[in-house]
Structure 1
Amino acid sequence: MWKKVRLGGRIVEKRIIQVEEKVPFKLLVPLSIQHMFAMFGASVLVPFLFGINPAVVLLMNGVGTLLFILITKGKAPAYLGSSFAFLGPAGLVIEKFGFSYALGGFVAIGIGGMIVALLIGKFGTDWIDVVLPPAAMGPVVALIGLELAGNAADNAGLLAEQIDVKNVMVFLVTLGTAVFGQVLFRKFFSVIPILIAIIVGYAAAGLCGLLDFAEVSSASFFALPNFQTPRFNLEAILTIFPALLLVTSEHIGHQVVTGKIVGRDLLKEPGLNRSLFADFFSTTLSGCVGSVPTTTYGENIGVMAVTKVYSVQVIGGAAVLSICCSFLGKLSALISTIPGPVIGGISFLLYGMIGTSGLRMLVDSRVDYGKSKNLALTSVIFVTGLSGIALKIGNVELTGMVLACVVGMALSLIFHLLEKYHLTNETAGE
């Protein structure tokens, strides 16, 4: 379909590939590669931090994404990558009991999440409008991208004590190609600006001498993923289980922002219960074979926002490529040579697009900031999310977007009750 947008004071038509649309093969391949590159850096970082081979993670990310598409009936475009929500508690379990017991915790939290999804399917999602009205949901969604801004700068090497000029050059080339490509590229190239930016940035990194192919030369052409089985311990499970709140909050935020991007209410169709069940089913399956928990990925949401390509066929293509990479040792090693400044340059744009989507929610919902409730909600959520404060529950630390979401939900519920009983100064006398 085509959508009319305003560019430079004039109305132009821009091609949008919707969720259910089929994509020609010559377009499907580069679009799928683009999505795979977007998730690759962050997704393989988690297994590196856990000290396990990333091949099994790439395999289960791909399998989990395909299952997600199947369970949501192909109506919710999302890529499932490695979740960072479990790093803290899982690290404690690994240190005390070993990785196999962390896998048991992943399986338990996956089962718990599926139960939550079934409860949502029974009782509906109307409660979301109460605990997360637009004045709260908008800033929560914006924080998904904004709180990652520091990660993008860190990947690019811009926060180091001594900044390398080569890193800055590669970062600027990558970011510049992505930004101006989005504005200037036409026809076929207009839908793959991220992929082009990665290629250009990679070439710039080569010219600056930032590429290291030692691991590529030592990697085997074919390799089987290293599967492991979970072991269960109550203390280990209880240490990891509170992360259920983090992943659920993150999932709701991602589904809302994706829905705004594609122009559909994904909480209603295919339904939050389906997408959440699929997310946690993937986590359960991953824990059973030795992989890490999965979650919907903001990087890929950013790609959709930039390219206007929402087809689940493209997401599925990226998942198949991820599965292939898990068995092709040299290909996986080659992709992992993409340097931080390239990833950082791409992330600068993608994370910003997610933040902008949250602000767009406030505009589209016409939030009235003449009302004290709305002004207070948005203000407190933004400051909570960006202040760096943290709340510890057992071994799980709530901070950033997740803590802001919890605070926003509690505050929204209190405001709802105060309005219901006409206790606020704006409802007094009604």
Structure 2
Amino acid sequence: MDNRRIIQVEEKVPFNLLVPLSLQHMFAMFGASVLVPSIFHISPAIVLFMNGIGTLLFIFVTKGKAPAYLGSSFAFLAPAGVVIANFGYEYALGGFVAVGFCGCILAYIVYKFGTDWIDVVLPPAAMGPVVALIGLELSGSAASNAGLLDPVINPKNVIVFLVTLGTAVFGSILFRKFLSVIPILIAVVAGYVAAVACGIVDFSQVAAAPIFALPNFTTPKFNLNAIMMILPVLLVITSEHIGHQVVTSKIVGRDLLKDPGLHRSLFGDNFSTMISGLIGSVPTTTYGENIGVMAVTRVYSVRVIGGAAVLSIACSFIGKLSTLIQTIPGPVIGGISFLLYGMIGTSGLRILVDAQVDYSKNRNQALTSVIFVAGLSGIALKIGSIQLTGMVLACVVGMVMSLVIYLLDRAHLTNDQD
């Protein structure tokens, strides 16, 4: 029997527990979050700064009721890459601002019309596999970070990966009392020690880094063509956001779509993206890695998330510290991600179980089957410069199928109404 106490969303956490729990969340998001600025060839310091600011804004907008850490969004990579190549990074920033602004308008529309439509377009038989795909489609990324997909696998990477994953898995099962709520942090430390022992950590950049350094702030420029290339991403990030809020609701045992409301979380997410574009950072989004941390540790306190945000802001100004964190090797990040991404997939299956989805009904079988295949098959749908694939494509397919089935129900044409 698991006797670990759940630390709920609004609970205060003692300082001696707050620091390691916050570090755990920061390490969980770090690998993926700094990857985006490295692809755009900008300093990760401004991204760490905005991740922290965006998370604190999100907590404020949602009245401290929706635990979520905002990290760098991968949804913008393809269109922003085209804009950067043709116009420059400043014009991509203008596109980020436009998407964030339109997302805030969408949040107002949701506020006016409510969220009942979600039950129509994403019933449990559709929402379960969509949420599961959030974790499952990232499984390849975890393996890639660990170096397990390289043409020639380095035994040192395998050792570090196994130490990290083993510590995280068995720590979550065996650790007790204080250690039972920080298995991810302990796994990161164990993996890092193993990486140093294996000689795959390079400290030369840490030695050369300044002690203190200001993030590089950049102002956006606006071009209609550049904005129109990036704007369709709004569909992607909205689908992703709804999925994240649903899975977080299942983990914490509260309906976050109702309280604080989807309109608040959607506004906080997109307002953060808009501010990111205004200061030179990349768009932000609620992070699956941190949802996984909450699922493993049963610690849902927004104060812990806020502590991670403050640490992220501090790291953006301390050059040596932010550089030291960047030395965490891929096998460590991959080992942690293996467990965290899987926990998200399991949460999707939990939706199906909790909702007692009846698979003797053909509609439920068809919905879940088609959504899983659409998300995992590698199919891509191109709309201009936007490519829908994976979870987002599956979500769109599921919404269309669910809406058609709903209309057929209203016309009394479906055979399971007999």
Same fold (TM over 0.5): yes
* Cα deviation digits, residues 376-416 of structure 1 (max 9, x gap): 00000000000010000100100000000000000000001
Q: Structure 1 runs of 4+ off > 2 angstroms?
A: none
Distance, in Å, in 2 between the alignment partners of 1:353 and 1:215 is 34
Aligned residue for 1:397, secondary structure, equals strand
Q: Which AA in structure 2 matches 1:308?
A: R
Q: Is the 8 A contact 2:201 2:328 kept in 1?
A: yes
Please name the residue that 2:92 is paired with: 102
Q: CA offset at residue 426 of structure 1?
A: 1.7
* Cα deviation digits, residues 153-181 of structure 1 (max 9, x gap): 00000000000111001100100000000
Please name the residue that 1:25 is paired with: 15
Please name the residue that 2:109 is paired with: 119
TM-score where L is the length of structure 2? 0.99
1:37 to 5, 24, 27: 27
Q: Is the 8 A contact 2:4 2:180 kept in 1?
A: no
Aligned length, in residue pairs: 418
1:62 to 52, 70, 80: 52
Distance, in Å, in 2 between the alignment partners of 1:273 and 1:201 is 40
Please name the residue that 2:332 is paired with: 342
Please name the residue that 1:4 is paired with: none
Q: Is the 8 A contact 2:21 2:181 kept in 1?
A: yes
Please name the residue that 1:169 is paired with: 159
Distance, in Å, in 1 between the alignment partners of 2:377 and 2:282 is 29
Aligned residue for 2:415, secondary structure, equals coil
Please name the residue that 1:186 is paired with: 176
Q: CA offset at residue 424 of structure 1?
A: 1.3
1:398 equivalent to 2:388? Answer yes
Distance, in Å, in 1 between the alignment partners of 2:197 and 2:31 is 21
Distance, in Å, in 1 between the alignment partners of 2:295 and 2:213 is 35
TM-score where L is the length of structure 1? 0.97
1:283 to 247, 263, 273: 273
Aligned residue for 1:378, secondary structure, equals helix
1:152 equivalent to 2:142? Answer yes
Equivalent runs, 1:12-411 vs 2, <5 Å: 12-411=2-401
Fraction of identical pairs, as percent: 76
Q: Which AA in structure 1 matches 2:205?
A: E
Distance, in Å, in 1 between the alignment partners of 2:125 and 2:139 is 22
Q: CA offset at residue 106 of structure 1?
A: 0.3
Distance, in Å, in 2 between the alignment partners of 1:390 and 1:172 is 33
Please name the residue that 2:415 is paired with: 425
Distance, in Å, in 2 between the alignment partners of 1:225 and 1:182 is 36
* Cα deviation digits, residues 118-170 of structure 1 (max 9, x gap): 00000000000000000000000000000000000000000000001110011
Q: Which AA in structure 1 matches 2:370?
A: V
Q: Is the 8 A contact 2:367 2:398 kept in 1?
A: yes
Q: CA offset at residue 419 of structure 1?
A: 1.0
Distance, in Å, in 1 between the alignment partners of 2:241 and 2:396 is 14
Distance, in Å, in 2 between the alignment partners of 1:330 and 1:174 is 24
Q: Which AA in structure 2 matches 1:293?
A: P
Aligned residue for 1:27, secondary structure, equals helix
Aligned residue for 2:196, secondary structure, equals helix
Where structure 2 has 5 or more consecutive residues not aligned to the other structure, the ranges are: none
Distance, in Å, in 1 between the alignment partners of 2:417 and 2:333 is 50
Q: CA offset at residue 14 of structure 1?
A: 2.2
Distance, in Å, in 2 between the alignment partners of 1:392 and 1:214 is 43
Q: CA offset at residue 24 of structure 1?
A: 0.2
Q: CA RMSD in A?
A: 0.6
Q: CA offset at residue 324 of structure 1?
A: 0.3
Q: CA offset at residue 420 of structure 1?
A: 1.2
Q: CA offset at residue 427 of structure 1?
A: 2.4
Q: Which AA in structure 1 matches 2:167?
A: T
Distance, in Å, in 2 between the alignment partners of 1:286 and 1:377 is 37
Distance, in Å, in 2 between the alignment partners of 1:26 and 1:135 is 43
Q: CA offset at residue 425 of structure 1?
A: 1.7
Distance, in Å, in 1 between the alignment partners of 2:40 and 2:3 is 47
* Cα deviation digits, residues 204-224 of structure 1 (max 9, x gap): 111111100111011101001
Q: Is the 8 A contact 2:163 2:191 kept in 1?
A: yes
Aligned residue for 2:413, secondary structure, equals coil
Distance, in Å, in 1 between the alignment partners of 2:305 and 2:234 is 25
Q: Which AA in structure 2 matches 1:70?
A: F
Q: Which AA in structure 2 matches 1:348?
A: F
Aligned residue for 1:73, secondary structure, equals coil
Q: CA offset at residue 105 of structure 1?
A: 0.3
Where structure 1 has 5 or more consecutive residues not aligned to the other structure, the ranges are: 1-6
Distance, in Å, in 2 between the alignment partners of 1:224 and 1:13 is 45
Distance, in Å, in 2 between the alignment partners of 1:87 and 1:67 is 24
Distance, in Å, in 1 between the alignment partners of 2:3 and 2:49 is 39
